[in-house]
Amino acid sequence: MCWGRLWFGAVAACLTVLACMTAAASSRTDGRLPDGKPQRIMSTNMCSDILLLMLVPKDRIASITYLAHDQVEVLMPGADAGVAINHGSAEEVVAQHPDLILASPWSASAMRRLAGKVRAPLIEIEAANSFDDIRRITRQVGRAVGEPGRAEVLIAEMDAKLALLDRDRPTRPIEVAAWSSGDTVPGAGTLTDEIIRRAGAVNLARRMPDASYSTFGVEELLAARPDAIMRGEDRYDGPALRDAVSEHPAIRKAYAGRRISYPASLYACGLPQSADAALQLRAALAKVPQGGVRW
């Protein structure tokens, strides 16, 4: 999701600036992992924060990002109690002496230099755009933190839910738009699109000419006549005007009983819980009145 990316972008920007300050460092870390289980793991990526909290006990976590808290409150309340936070800054990396750093591709190049300074291996975690990506990333982090078995358990749970979804998929899929403000509507090749598909619906944005993220206003949304409108509801992504806009009276009138709220956090980060998101969406879709909109 766009705001997820923006968050990572901010962390990356912060790191880039700080990396310039420490540009003297030239040593490189290789991808080799330490023998045994890392005991001071530092995560500088909001999505890997969550994975880390699920995979290892809290006492082996050096810190997670300051962005994670709200999302943790949504996904697993209280799981981050007592865990230190970082802002992805150079001082923190040096001060916290991590023995493993989880970074996003946006911050990886800047973080690599710092990782060299503290002699900690660095794992680059890509953003997930599909359930295949989620499996790959969960395994990658699981191996890195020395808990591959735990990762397989999480993946198996996810796959069981996905199998359940595939077994009784609705015969006539309805069309939905993940429209929260019109700034960005996730289309083909996004995790949101995949969750919508697995839940048994068709993503309206696939019909739109633009690529992954298209934009359209209320007028275009109404003219496209989706069967239902999905709306990101989490407070974790903070206050923004789009809630007011998605309450536009035209949409309220035209889509009474056809507006689905969804947990944006599960769509922003590819996590094993994304299967739960697809299950929830399936349940919500079942409540949408049959047949298209009346007007």
Q: Which of 214, 265, 273, 274 binds other proteins (CB under 8 A)?
A: 214
Length, in residues, of the chain: 295
Closer CB to other proteins, 33 or 66, in the complex? 66
- Minimum CB distance to other proteins, residue 286 (Å): 25
Is residue 262 within the footprint of other proteins (CB under 8 A)? Answer: no
Asked if residue 81 binds other proteins (CB under 8 A), the reply is no
Q: Which is nearer to other proteins, 5 or 40 (CB)?
A: 5
Site string for other proteins, 166-185 (x = CB under 8 A): ----------------xx--
Instruction: Dump the DSSP string for 35-91.
Output: SS--SSEEE-SHHHHHHHHHHS-GGGEEEEETTHHHHHHHHSTTTTTT--EE-S-HH
Q: Give me the sheet containing 122-124, strands edge to edge.
A: 85-86, 61-65, 41-43, 100-103, 122-124
Closest CA to 280 of 267, 256, 262, 264: 262
> Is position 223 an interface residue for other proteins (rule: CB under 8 A)?
yes
Member of 84, 240, 283, 286 binding other proteins (CB under 8 A): 240
Among 42, 67, 269, 278, binds other proteins (CB under 8 A): 67
Q: Rank residues 27 and 215 by Cβ distance to other proteins and give the closer one.
A: 215
Q: What whole-number distance in Å separates Cα of residue 278 and Cα of residue 284?
A: 10
Choice between 58 and 252, CB closer to other proteins: 252
Using CB under 8 A as the binding criterion, the count of chain residues that bind other proteins stands at 37
Of 121 and 217, the one with the shorter C-beta distance to other proteins is: 217
* 289 is a site residue for other proteins (CB under 8 A): no
Residue that the structure tokens 């995949």 belong to: 194
The whole-angstrom separation of Cα 61 and Cα 42 is 6
Q: Smallest Cα–Cα separation from 258: which of 174, 190, 195, 181?
A: 174
- How far separated are the first and last CA of the chain, in Å rounded? 31
The yes or no reply on residue 10 touching other proteins (CB under 8 A) is yes
Q: Which residues bind other proteins (CB under 8 A)?
A: 2-3, 6-7, 9-10, 67, 182-183, 210, 214-220, 222-223, 225, 237-245, 247-250, 253-254, 294-295
